[in-house]
Structure 1
Amino acid sequence: MRRRKPKIYGVILAGGPSSLMGEDKALLRLGDETLLDRNTRLLESLGVKEVLVCRNEEGCLHDIYENAGPMAGIHSALMKTKSAKVANTLLVMPIDMPFLDKRIMEDLLSFGNAMRCAVTYSNYQLPLYLPNSAENREFAKVVALSKEDRSIKRYLNIINSTQVNSTELDKLLSMNDKKDWQRALLSLNT
């Protein structure tokens, strides 16, 4: 009997309040597209089966556990893509890393496929290559429901994960406020 090949699902974490930015990061425009459109296009260019947008609005993947931060989105995506027949994988990215490109995401996919465990770049929790296993689903739930530390960093310390180096650290910069966004616009437009 032939084993079915795992499917890669793209996941965009876009549900946070964006309080430091003062406006919804997903809807910020870069040229003629929003960051949400840009990230969706990037994931689609990698050949993912489907792009799941973790965001509490119509047409998006809603958190099973509300107000539990990014781990709630990761847990919901794991639950949505679980399969008894094949170990699917998530390629998770945040909405606020506008410098991510196809090359750095392809590298992460390659590392993940080779190592067969959760993979991030050194000193970063996202983007994340995350195999959808029963253990990873259970610990995502535990961390999302925690009263104290609901961080992705804690989750990665619990599950089977590793970090790999990148020579393109500038691609991993995130933007949290309007100053960061203005710097990103200047960099991306030059």
Structure 2
Amino acid sequence: MSAGIVLVGGRSSRMGTSKAALEWHGSTLLWRAAALLQRSLDGPVVVVRAPGQELPDLPDGVEVVADPVEGRGPLQGIATGLAAVAGRAEAAFVCPTDMPLLHPAFVRRVLGALGSDVDVVLPVALGFAQPLAAAYRTALAPRVAALVAAGRMRPAMLFAEVAVLRLDEAALLADPDLAAADPALDSLLNVNEPTEYRRARDRPAPEVTVVASGTSTTVRASTLGSVDIPATATVTLNGVPIRPAPGFPLVAGDNIALT
């Protein structure tokens, strides 16, 4: 079983406002991040916030935990999140709240590379190592907490002590599902300041297929709320029945069947 951890405790200084609450096609960046991990994983999804930080609404079932101290960086958030899911999941995918184009195929690719002899799967793509789009063994929780307690706050300090599998762009895209769904690795796009947010928000919504009454139609939709779904319809997403919540995130390649 794999868990999801969304880090939301950053100060958003370049954005000038809370990134978690920024609108994203009828929901918020945080809602989308948490709901996307829910649809991608079979374990709990936890949001890690700063002490006392107010959050926008979250999907049902998403848990919230707080860092013990504010402003100590992402490694503390990783430690807090891993401790929250340890014992319930063997691994966790960690992402920030501001990665709105993250695709489930990317999450599955990274988690799928976490072999028994690996502690961390670290994408190295688009010119950077990506510790906030990586998979971690939950058993690392005490070790990460010890690094934070010692003031060793950089993720690289953890990677120097554990078994890390680094996946470059070619290795990531060797997975045919990811190569088809996200060939440009837009999953790794962050929105750190207003121009980046507006640029990402203005992108066309992903193309999805809607099948109803024997007719297949391609539409652009970021959420189920953007799809015309009769109130009495049964909804199947990629062959799996789902409850049609309006904010449910859609991604490129989704197939929605209505009966």
TM class, shorter-length: 0.7 to 0.9
Provide the rounded CA distance (Å) in 1 between the counterparts of 2:190 and 2:146: 26
- AA matched with 1:130: Y
Q: CA RMSD in A?
A: 2.3
Change (3 A) 1:144 1:186: same
Provide the rounded CA distance (Å) in 2 between the counterparts of 1:153 and 1:35: 27
Provide the rounded CA distance (Å) in 1 between the counterparts of 2:30 and 2:204: 16
Provide the rounded CA distance (Å) in 2 between the counterparts of 1:177 and 1:19: 8
Provide the rounded CA distance (Å) in 1 between the counterparts of 2:8 and 2:200: 18
**C-alpha contact (below 8 Å) 2:30/2:98 kept by paired residues:** no
Please tell me whether Structure 1 or Structure 2 has the larger radius of gyration of its CA atoms.
2
Deviations 1:144-167 (A, max 9, x none): 2344x5122332233221211334
Give the structure with the higher percent strand: 2
* Aligned: 1:141 with 2:145: yes
How far is 1:170 from its partner? 2.9
Structure 2 partner of 1:185: 201
Q: Which moved more, 1:100-109 or 1:152-161?
A: 152-161
Return the structure number with greater relative CO, CA threshold 8 A, min gap 6. Answer: 1
Identity percentage of aligned residues:
25
Deviations 1:75-132 (A, max 9, x none): 112222223xx76211111112122111111111211257642102112222111111
Alignment length (residue pairs): 179
Provide the rounded CA distance (Å) in 1 between the counterparts of 2:186 and 2:40: 20
36, 39, 44: which one aligns with 1:45: 39
- In the TM superposition, 1:61-72 aligns within 5 A as 61-72=65-76
Identify unmatched segments of 5+ residues in structure 2: 55-62, 174-183, 207-259
How far is 1:66 from its partner? 3.4
Identify unmatched segments of 5+ residues in structure 1: 1-6
**C-alpha contact (below 8 Å) 1:71/1:150 kept by paired residues:** yes
162, 175, 178: which one aligns with 2:191: 175
Structure 2 partner of 1:125: 131
